[in-house]
Structure 1
């Protein structure tokens, strides 16, 4: 049979090293599905239960491999369902290619069924976004889509009418100027090296600094050794953005952990008292947690020149890969013998860790959410991959689950969307079949895409899904009270027996209600050879307290309780008991 446009599309994907495509079949992509079927020994199609899960999985695949993630959806609603996961990839700078179908090429724009011009819909989310016009167009467009997504670490989208997917490929279809072979498939870009002028500026700033903080983000995930060596040389403190959680292990003597609303008190204190800030691969978005402008002299390392100075005024901008730039600074920066700033931070960290242990070992009923995170963190292997979700769950993940050297951790960073934890875990287990993979999620996020637990069962993926089930949209609940002083409203969730859901899907389910049973139940779940859901029923009145409570936040919480928040007395009692314990 003659080769088709879809065959060429799959050829290009294989040439670019794509081995996995996440999606759902549909009549708008029948030609592509047939091409995937005939090449199934080279490229696997992973069927999910919702296109949003396909896009999240493609983003997770990119995060946990550094390679191109690919998702596929049919015309109309199928393509529209991809958008949330694609925005997750866009905002976290992950290389993802979305492929969608269109209606028959001569019916587009005629109000036919599912007549959605997806290339127009995707104009904002995709940095490369094209409609394929025929078989002779496929190679050029697909090649550019793959190259652009990888080169610029973002989303590319191509869409192709369903009838053109089966169009026979032949040289006679080519335009005269479309010379065969003119578009090279592969590329191997060299990492940019910062300019000598900016390096000299950066070294001068570091040499003059006395209280240096390094803010590490996801751009520094592969620069662990360089970060620690530079911190040692400078007597610096490393603080971490959420996406940079695994950049430095939490047992490193140089880090005080996360920053921001979900961060640690010693990290915040280091930022508040530093005189020099080195931002390594991060554009951490919460500007209010940076040093006040003018307090610290700043240097920023980023692969994208447009992001230099985005969050904080900098005097030196090193455009390049973090590992390369940090190696250069290590060679040139003078050693700092004064360790007093680092030692102060280390003392603060020791006190913070004692507090986290106290919170993570409480015997209270209902079970505290910190207990689940604490017990899980102790049981993760050195090469575990942890996919977190958005909500209060992210607070417990950030504080109670330590990142160890060799582990990978991620969540939806800048979009902070609910629901990616499960699809991320599925992608991680497919990419790394020999590693322990855990999705650490809330009941709100998990229930949005929980049908995809059946995907893990179908493909024999031994992921472990640990659910902090507080039976509410917890983050929204606390934001309503603490940010605005409004009573909680609309956040209660009807209970779901997630262990029974897991069993109904063909997996294994556990339920934990008592902290004294938590460790043993997690041991059993982690030892089970197949996919597991662990439904942990936790206290919905346990607040995710910021590292430092502001007077305005305390006032708003008091107002919310006084104005009729459900369980106001229980919440007040919980907050009072927690604070009393910490003071004692």
Structure 2
């Protein structure tokens, strides 16, 4: 019988924490754990990435798409350094990830070879928990503590496991054999609700608002019915953060779309005209698009009290779970719909939707990228997932792709790191291989790491019940990544080596479609989504299409410091002319 080693215990603890797979780039210092995973028969599975950075993005993507805990493996030195980008993504997005780092200092060079102080390296990104394992007996408890901490703090953590320990025999660890845990991966550890007095104050404030706006973030992902019910009760308009885009049905007539530079004019107008603001589960950084200081009274709901008031002044803070807090508010908020305000919001939404359609129809050379996303919107599968990269594709996704209800979409919205979408898509597809996945990528991100990670897709797709993983590459032949940028000289957009992205997919045994004619875009999407294998859809688009961010409401007044009498002056003079409120709305 083979000797039971620490590496085997690592696999057992991953299994006990219901980790389905670990992502990594295999190296000598973590080889015993990788071998133990290979011997585990896929429970859990080891998924080798082409690069350590993409492995950490896959782990974070797993946490984002599934709500569970992502796991990534690496070795000391440069391999460990490459994990940082994905781990910072997890930290800034408040997602639980466990990084297990193998360290080998037993060679003739000792600690000098690839020597990087791992405790200091991970001290910031994994500031909640960084531990070295000193003895075999410590492994089960340290790993359990790492997983508990990641789940409780919704953050990345790090365990450093020396190679010689991985191969060591373990003592009798019978207390851990049952796999009993004190926490459940990816779920809140307690019920969090605000105090009754705070709920009463919030209900009073919201009930007295005449023109209410609700800004919804990813923290409201399980609270869509409650958000809609409260919006109807108050006659409110709703906007979403970029991360909150999948939360609500985007067909709602009072849904103004995404707020911010990547968003819509309707969302900006909603913020400009409201006198009452409810923030639900959002830490949206586009503060230039929030109402002017002094314009509104504000309630904020967030399960993390550190975020309340961090972006905008708050009159009534409510620390609690979004769905439960909204249900408690609904028992207190009076039914006071404001038909005139709601009609104003819906008119703004109608104007924006017409404008968006007109933008997609504008001629471009050779393709308008807005048209490419609009054509996908009409064909988007009713289930599955969408992974979105950084760059101009974010603008077109935010404005032109209407997500079906229940389709999960994720992006690196807080860190904003290029090259996240394809690793995310791999993680989403491995988590739900019977569901379609669409990745939206620019050519810069595709050249950064996407071409390499298509090899990972090619390695796994034969086992997927639904083989559809469609990677849209917006080929601008422009590696500045900025289109008509306000920050780059004109000649900076002519430095691109045109890569045959669809051809590369075909070389790997997948499907590839290249389209450069507007009349063929719809047919190209039909072909890609009907393929019997993963597909790269390469759309040759015009980099000069203007990103056209919406103007923040009252942009000319953003320099005013509005407090006290000045705030009242801004509110009375500006808001008095912004929205005409009928008498029945003042009751």
TM-score, normalization: structure 2? 0.88
Q: C-alpha offsets along residues 80-139 of structure 1, whole Å, 9 cap, x if unaligned?
A: 11111111111111111111111237989x543222232321111112211111211111
Deviation at 1:357, TM superposition (A): 1.3
What does residue 570 of structure 2 align with? none
Does the aligned pair in 1 maintain the 2:28–2:75 contact within 8 Å?
yes
Shift, 1:171, TM fit: 4.8
Match of 1:223 in 2: 223
RMSD (Å), alpha carbons: 2.3
TM-aligned CA distance change 1:549 to 1:515, over 3 Å: farther
Question: How many angstroms apart in 1 are the aligned matches of 2:325 and 2:24?
Answer: 38
Would you say 1:29 and 2:35 are equivalent positions?
A: no
Inter-partner Cα distance in structure 1 for 2:512 and 2:493? 28
Cα distance in structure 1, aligned partners of 2:554 and 2:341: 27
Find the aligned partners of 1:368 and 1:202 in 2 and give their Cα distance: 45
Structure 2 counterpart of 1:515, from 510, 513, 518: 518
Higher RCO structure, 1 or 2 (CA under 8 Å, sep 6+): 2
The answer as to whether partners of 1:281 and 1:322 remain within 8 angstroms in 2 is: yes
CA distance in 2, matches of 1:531, 1:321: 38
Tell me how far 1:269 sits from its aligned partner: 0.8
- Where in structure 2 are there 5+ consecutive unaligned residues? 462-466, 557-587
Instruction: State the partner residue of 1:186.
Output: 182
Structure 1 stretch displaced more, 257-266 or 457-466 = 457-466
Q: Does 1:254 align with 2:254?
A: yes
Instruction: Indicate how the Cα distance of structure 1 residues 143 and 120 shifts in structure 2: closer, same or farther if over 3 A, else same.
Output: same
Offset of residue 550 of structure 1: 9.8
- 5 Å-filtered alignment, 1:16-95, equals 16-95=17-96
CA-CA distance at 1:38 after TM superposition: 2.1
Q: CA deviation at 1:366?
A: 1.4
Of the structure 1 ranges 411-420 and 32-41, higher mean CA displacement relative to structure 2 is found in 32-41
Whole-angstrom CA distance in 2 between matches of 1:531 and 1:498: 13
Aligned to 2:397: 397
Structure 1 pair 147–407 and aligned structure 2 pair: CA distance change class (3 A): same
* Aligned mates of 1:370, 1:181 — CA distance in 2: 55
Q: Can you list the C-alpha shifts for 1:535-573, whole angstroms capped at 9, x where unaligned?
A: 1000011111111289999xxxxxxxxxxxxxxxxxxxx
The CA distance in 2 between the partners of 1:366 and 1:437, in whole Å, is 27
Which region of structure 1 is more displaced relative to structure 2, 334-343 or 374-383?
A: 334-343
Deviation >3 Å, runs of 4+: 105-108, 179-184, 361-365, 473-479, 484-492, 549-553
Cα shift at 1:478: 4.3
Tell me what 1:567 maps to: none
Please give the alpha-carbon distance, in whole angstroms, between the structure 2 residues aligned to 1:47 and 1:371.
36
Partners of 1:89 and 1:522 lie apart in 2 by: 32
User: Which residue is 2:454 aligned to?
Assistant: 453
SS of corresponding position for 2:428 = helix
Q: Give runs of aligned pairs for residues 104-253 of structure 1, distance below 5 A.
A: 104=105, 111-126=111-126, 127-171=128-172, 185-188=181-184, 189-253=189-253
Aligned residue runs from structure 1 range 313-462, under 5 A: 313-449=313-449, 450-460=451-461, 462=468
Between the aligned partners of 2:404 and 2:177, the Cα distance in structure 1 is 47
CA apart distance, 1:365: 3.3
Residue correspondence of structure 1 range 489-528 to structure 2 within 5 A: 489=492, 492-528=495-531
Query: Does structure 1 retain, via aligned residues, the 8 Å contact 2:480–2:493?
Result: no
Query: How far apart, CA to CA, are the structure 2 residues paired with 1:51 and 1:487?
Result: 35
Which string of whole-angstrom CA distances, capped at 9 and with x for unpartnered residues, describes residues 269-313 of structure 1? 111121111110011012211112221111111111111110011
Q: Indicate the SS of the match to 1:355.
A: helix
Structure 1 contact 213–278 (Cα < 8 Å) conserved: yes
- Give the C-alpha shift of residue 193 in structure 1: 1.2
1:341 CA drift (Å): 1.6
TM-score, with structure 1 as normaliser: 0.89
Aligned to 2:533: 530
